[in-house]
Amino acid sequence: MRICRKCGCTDNRACHGGCFWIGLDLCSSCYQILLEKHKEDPTEEPPSISKELIYLLKTDGINSKQKAIEILQNLIIYEI
């Protein structure tokens, strides 16, 4: 079963308010937190997103990781 490495949520037990998978072991709630950290301190590694998600975004004509992250960010705002 997939488990988020940060908060421990699973397919059967999502975070409060709902979440979805951003990385193989990272959910959208935790992704948002990591992204904020990265914005405040650019030396912090930006959160990684899964290859499958990048692939999905690529099929929409998005081919840079930065662009993908921007889109995900907007997506998350609507999801939560």
Task: Look at residue 26 and give its three-state secondary structure.
Answer: strand
Binding site for Zn ion (CB under 5 A): 4, 6-7, 9, 15, 19, 27, 29-30
**Nearest distance, CB of residue 55 and Zn ion, angstroms:** 22
**Nearest distance, CB of residue 14 and Zn ion, angstroms:** 5
Of 2 and 51, the one with the shorter C-beta distance to Zn ion is 2
The number of beta carbons lying within 10 Å of the beta carbon of residue 21 is 18
Whole-number Å distance between alpha carbons of 38 and 34: 6
Of 62 and 79, the one with the shorter C-beta distance to Zn ion is 79
Secondary structure letter of residue 44 according to DSSP: S
**Nearest distance, CB of residue 49 and Zn ion, angstroms:** 14
Of 19 and 69, the one with the shorter C-beta distance to Zn ion is 19
